[in-house]
Amino acid sequence: MDKVEIAKTVSGLAISIGVESIISNAVKATTPEDTKTLNKVCTFVGVIVISGIVGKIAVEYAEDKIDCVSKWMKKSIKEAKEKQEKETI
């Protein structure tokens, strides 16, 4: 696994955990204490689904940005090496 894939994996994990935490906290803050059991179960299922959807979108966005930065870095390094080679000749 190369460094870019490792960065994608680590960031994807952190993003997924963060999204789930944010959504769970928002739901907890807005759900009344006296909510019935069936409603609590449905709310829990909703949190899982919404967290999955938002997490997937956020991870895809982050992976796209990682790819852009990686391509930019590779291009910049290549250009710097070519410039250095021309200067040493």
Considering just the CA atoms, what is the radius of gyration of the chain in Å? 22
Identify which of 4, 14, 13, 3 has the alpha carbon closest to the alpha carbon of residue 64.
Answer: 4
Q: Provide the whole-model pTM.
A: 0.80
First to last CA, the chain: 36
The span from the CA of 49 to the CA of 43, in Å, is: 10
Residue 20, pLDDT score: 95
Residue 64 has which token pair? 């796209």
Q: Which domain, by its residues, includes 28? A: 3-88
Q: How many distinct structural domains can be found in the chain? A: 1
Residue 89, pLDDT score: 66
Length of the chain: 89
Task: Profile the chain (89 residues) by mean pLDDT over runs of 10 residues.
Answer: 92 96 95 93 95 97 97 95 85
